[in-house]
């Protein structure tokens, strides 16, 4: 049982990290960014090329992966988010989904659909807790999440730029009146989101076998669920809810293991549980645990 709790917390860290990126875009421009997962997959593939094909060490390749994410975030802002800023929010959402699909399409053109992985010096045995051995890479993921959550909370509460981003989401014409550049704020927001997406990808890359569209298929829906449960506007919420979603999913795996006969009729029970959490949250408390609005 405790084993599953640890598994849940580890995957929860990844969901939380991805959810942070979603929340920052939502705070900044009030749209759901469906391209968030693909920022991560692209960073994974850059890491794959550098580490596995060129022989660059994992930590030396990390900056390249992260820069990929930032560049993708900036490009998305310039060519999709900014032109669609005045359009219906639904159109903005379709636009980001288009970005995700374009990135998946490009990966398919340039990479084989084979599962890939990236070698990291942290992969391998780490401390054993309750019979479950955590890899050092997984500990790295959790540490990164905590560091990112803390620094972004500081960023939005205490720095001028962070507050400008929040102000922009509430009333962008007022921001323009006081003399801040709306376009620059929007670009910075997307840059940060791209960075967080890439960070999710590079941290996860050594632990999984990824393929084109991996983060969109596997991480995006739990991350959205974490964002919604956390309230979509709360960084702390995204952090906590990521852990909750990780635990819920792990509970699904536990139940399937405990009651294989009863649950065999429901294929993919863990994913199903995550959806149940999403739907119930939206129906009962759409503003989530820590949200300030619905």
Among residues 38 and 141, whose Cβ is nearest to other proteins?
38
Interatomic CA distance for residues 23 and 160, integer angstroms: 19
Q: Which stretch binds other proteins (CB under 8 A): 105-113, 165-173, 186-194, 195-203?
A: 105-113
What DSSP character marks residue 191? Answer: H
CA angle, 266 then 270 then 275, to 5°: 90
Closest CA to 256 of 243, 273, 244, 242: 273
Interatomic CA distance for residues 271 and 54, integer angstroms: 36
Q: In Å, how far from its chain's centre is CA 260?
A: 31
Closest contact distance (angstroms) between CB of 184 and other proteins is: 20
Residue 292: Cβ-neighbour burial (10 angstroms; 0-12, 13-18, 19+): exposed
Closest contact distance (angstroms) between CB of 264 and other proteins is: 9
Phi, psi (deg, nearest 5) at residue 132: -110, 125
Interatomic CA distance for residues 154 and 89, integer angstroms: 29
**Under the criterion CB under 8 A, does residue 31 sit at the interface with other proteins?**
yes
Closest contact distance (angstroms) between CB of 30 and other proteins is: 8
Among residues 4 and 34, whose Cβ is nearest to other proteins?
34
Closest contact distance (angstroms) between CB of 143 and other proteins is: 30
Which string of DSSP letters, residue by residue, matches 194-208?
HHHHHHHHHHHGGGS
Torsional class of 288: left (φ above 0), alpha (ψ -120 to 50), beta (otherwise): left
Closest contact distance (angstroms) between CB of 42 and other proteins is: 14
Q: Which of 4, 140, 210, 224 binds other proteins (CB under 8 A)?
A: 224
Closest CA to 148 of 291, 290, 17: 17
Structure-token pair, residue 238:
């995204």
**Under the criterion CB under 8 A, does residue 260 sit at the interface with other proteins?**
no
**Under the criterion CB under 8 A, does residue 87 sit at the interface with other proteins?**
yes
Among residues 73 and 95, whose Cβ is nearest to other proteins?
95
Closest contact distance (angstroms) between CB of 266 and other proteins is: 6
Closest contact distance (angstroms) between CB of 31 and other proteins is: 7
**Under the criterion CB under 8 A, does residue 289 sit at the interface with other proteins?**
no
**Under the criterion CB under 8 A, does residue 72 sit at the interface with other proteins?**
no
- For other proteins, the binding residues (CB under 8 A) are 31-32, 79-80, 83-84, 87-91, 93-95, 97-99, 101-102, 104-106, 108-109, 217, 221, 224, 228, 265-269, 271-272, 275, 278-279, 282-283, 286, 294
């Amino acid at each position: 049982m405790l084993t599953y709790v640890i598994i849940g917390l580890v995957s929860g860290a990844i969901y939380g990290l991805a959810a942070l990126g979603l929340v920052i875009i939502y705070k900044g421009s009030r749209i759901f960014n469906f391209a968030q997962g693909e920022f991560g997959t692209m960073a994974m593939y850059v890491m794959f090329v550098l580490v596995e094909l060129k022989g660059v060490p994992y930590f030396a390749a990390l900056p390249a992966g992260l820069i990929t994410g930032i560049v993708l975030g900036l490009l998305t802002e310039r060519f999709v988010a900014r032109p669609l800023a005045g359009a219906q929010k639904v159109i903005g959402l379709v636009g980001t989904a288009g970005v995700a699909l374009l990135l998946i399409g490009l990966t398919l053109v340039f990479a084989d659909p084979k599962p890939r992985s990236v070698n990291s010096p942290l992969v391998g045995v780490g401390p054993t807790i309750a019979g479950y051995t955590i890899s050092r890479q997984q500990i790295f993921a959790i540490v990164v999440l905590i560091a990112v959550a803390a620094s972004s909370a500081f960023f939005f509460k205490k720095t001028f730029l962070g507050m400008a981003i929040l102000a922009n989401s509430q009333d962008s014409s007022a921001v323009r009146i006081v003399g801040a550049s709306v376009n620059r704020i929007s670009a910075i927001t997307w840059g940060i989101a791209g960075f967080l997406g890439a960070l999710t990808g590079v941290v996860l890359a050594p632990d999984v076998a990824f393929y084109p569209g991996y983060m969109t298929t596997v991480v995006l829906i739990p991350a959205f669920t974490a964002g919604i449960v956390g309230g979509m506007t709360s960084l702390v919420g995204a952090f906590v809810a990521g852990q909750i979603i990780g635990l819920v999913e792990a509970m699904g795996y536990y139940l399937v293991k405990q009651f294989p006969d009863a649950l065999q009729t429901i294929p993919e029970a863990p994913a199903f549980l995550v959806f149940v959490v999403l739907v119930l949250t939206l129906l009962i408390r759409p503003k989530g645990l820590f949200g300030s609005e619905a």
